[in-house]
Amino acid sequence: MRTEDILWLGFKSLKTRKVRGALTILSVVIGVASIIGLVSQTAGIQASVLSTLQSLGPTTLLVTPARTTTLTQADIARMMSIPGVEGVVPVVSAQMRLTRASEVVQVNVIGVDSIGLKTLLGEVRLLDGEIYPPSNTPLAIVGNGVAFSSTQGIQEVYVGQPITLEQPLGSTGRRITLQVAGILDKYGSSAFLSTDNSIFIPIDYAMNIFNRRAYSYIIVKAANVESVNTVSEYLTTIYGRNISIINVQQITQAVSTIMGFFSILLGSVAAISLSVAGLGIMNIMLVSVYERTKEIGLLKAIGFKDRNVLTIFLSEAMLVGIIGGILGIVAGAGASQLVPTLIGTYFGSSNLGGGGGFQGGGAGMQGAMASFSYTPVITLDVVGIALITAVSVSVLSGLYPAWRASKMEPIKALRYE
C-alpha cells in the first residue's frame, strides 16, 4: 500500500471528525507551545546576561564594602599599587525619584567619571547627545528606560532638557537639577546595575550633592585574565572580610550552569503537558477504533492486512503530532515574544511612586532587575526537539489503539453493532 494512500486515509479520518480532531491537535499545540515558550525565555535571559558580562570583560572585579567598612580615595591608591591591576573605577550610587510627565519614576543615580563609564557599561551606546566631560558639572547621561515611557514607549526626556530629581530625607528632601547631555540605547538586563533605569553623572558632582566621602563600590580591572586570581588574592589579603569581591568570570560560569539546569527543568515541566496530551490522544483513538469497527472489518474483508490497518491508525496519530507540533511552534514563538513585554511592564510599574529614599552603596545594584529586558532565543535545536517529541508522544499514544484495530477479526467487526 502506498504511503500517500495511508496518509490520506489518516487525514480523512481527522477531517471527518473535525471537532474531535481539532481538540486532540490543540492538546499537542499547548504542550509544544509551552516547551518553546519556557525554554526560549531562559535562553534569552542567559544570552542577555552573558552578553553584558562579556562586554565588561573577564578581567573585571567588583569590590563592595562591608557594612562597617568604607572605601575612600586612599583605597583607590592602594588598589592601584597591587601588581596586575590595570585600572580602578570608583562609583557612587543612590536612589532618587524623577517626575516625568504625569508619572513618578524611581531611578538609580550613578556617579562615575566619563572614562569609568565605559568600564562600567562595557560599551557606551548613545542614541543622542554625548558623554559628559570629566568635570564637576550637573550634566547627566540618561538611561533608555528613563527617557522613554515604559508603558507607551514615547520619549519624554530629551538632550538639553533640564530634569529635577528628588531624594526624600525624613521630613525634608533633597532636590537637584541636571542637564541631560546624552541618552543611552537600550541595554536590557545587566549584571551589576539597571542601566536602562539609571542616570549617570560625574562622580565629583555626585560626591558633592550626596555629601559623600566614601564610594559605594569600586570596579577593578586586571591587566589580563591570568592576573584576575592574583589580584583577588591580594585584595583578600589586604581587606579580609571588610570587602566582598565579585569576579565576572565566576559569575559567567555560574550563570551558564544555573540557566542550563533551569532550562532543562522548565522544559521537563512543559513536557508533562505533552504527556497529558498523549493520554488524551490514546483515549480519543480508542473511541475512534470502537466507532470504526465496521469500517475496519470492511477494510480487512477487501484484503487489507493487519499491518495496513496498524499503519493507517498510526498515520492518523502521526498527523496529529505533526500538525499540532507545527502549530505549537508558531504559537510558542508568538507567545514567547509577549512574555518579556509583560515582565518589563510589571517590573517597570513596580518602580513607580514608592519611597525611593537613599539606600547607600547598593542602590545601583539593588535595582538591577528593574530593567528586566531581554529577547527570547528560539534555536533550531529546541524547535527540532519539540517537534520530534510531539510526533513521538502522538505515535506512542496511538500505538495501542492501532494494535487493537489491527487485531480485530473481520467477521466479528462486520457484525458489530
pLDDT, mean of residues 101-128: 85
CB 171 within 8 A of CB 148: no
83 and 190 share one domain: yes
* Residue 53 banded pLDDT, cuts 50, 70, 90: low
CB 365 within 8 A of CB 91: no
Among candidate residues 391, 397, 396, the one with its CA nearest the CA of residue 282 = 397
18 and 84 share one domain: no
**Coil, strand or helix at 163:** strand
As given in the structure block, the three cell numbers for residue 142 are 540618561
97 and 136 share one domain: yes
Q: Kindly state the greatest CA–CA separation across the chain.
A: 98
102 and 236 share one domain: yes
263 and 237 share one domain: no
Does the pLDDT value for residue 220 go beyond 70? yes
| CA separation for the pair 395, 324 (Å, rounded) | 13
* Verdict on whether the full-model pTM lies above 0.85: no
CB 245 within 8 A of CB 235: yes
47 and 61 share one domain: no
Domain count, the chain: 2
123 and 141 share one domain: yes
232 and 370 share one domain: no
Which residue would you say has higher pLDDT here, 16 or 375? 375
236 and 334 share one domain: no
46 and 112 share one domain: no
| CA separation for the pair 61, 46 (Å, rounded) | 20
Domain of residue 328 covers 3-52+253-415
345 and 378 share one domain: yes
Domain boundary among 247, 267, 300: 247
100 and 14 share one domain: no
As given in the structure block, the three cell numbers for residue 49 are 546576561
Domain boundary among 247, 269, 304: 247
Domain boundary among 232, 247, 262: 247
Q: Quick one: pLDDT at residue 413?
A: 63
What are the tens digits of pLDDT across the range 156-189?
A: 889 999 998 988 765 556 788 999 999 998 876 5
CB 178 within 8 A of CB 201: yes
Which residue would you say has higher pLDDT here, 182 or 374? 182
Q: Where are the beta strands (DSSP E) in 330-389?
A: none
* Residue 414 banded pLDDT, cuts 50, 70, 90: low
pLDDT, mean of residues 132-139: 88
What are the tens digits of pLDDT across the range 307-333?
A: 887 888 888 888 888 998 999 999 988
pLDDT, mean of residues 392-401: 86
What are the tens digits of pLDDT across the range 259-276?
A: 777 777 777 777 777 777
pLDDT, mean of residues 244-252: 76
* Residue 417 banded pLDDT, cuts 50, 70, 90: low
